[in-house]
Amino acid sequence: MVSARWSVALALACVLALFLTAAATFENLDIPTDPEVTDCICSWSGIKDRSFYDVEAMILRDCPKVRVIEVPQNSMVTMDYSLSRVRVFVDDASRSVFDNARCG
């Protein structure tokens, strides 16, 4: 019975440690306040089946200070949010954009 209580206490301590770590991480998010980035369009639609380079040029024409990142289809990406980054998901086989691009 004592070992079960210690197991529960240890599990609760681990959950608390994870919660505190996550809370500290979210307080320090690096979201840019540069007006040239925050005032930009943050979503581009109607770009499916275009080449990545055409879409990249269109995005940089609208928002020259963002980083445009080519991401292969079904790739894992981080969940941190950044207004200065635009991910463009590209189909591996056809090398064309297969989803709308958006900041984040």
Give the model confidence (pLDDT) of 3-47 as tens digits: 777 777 777 777 666 665 655 554 545 555 555 566 677 888 888
pLDDT range class, residue 98, cuts 50, 70, 90: confident
CATH of 31-103, one of 3.30.10.10, 3.40.50.11060, 3.10.180.10, 1.10.3720.10: 3.30.10.10
Distance CA 103, CA 55 (A): 14
Per-residue confidence (pLDDT) for residue 35, from 0 to 100? 54
Domain coordinates of the chain in residue numbers? 1-30, 31-103
User: Per-residue pLDDT averaged across 80-100, rounded?
Assistant: 87
Q: What is the pLDDT of residues 45-80, one digit of tens each?
A: 888 899 999 999 999 998 888 899 999 988 888 888
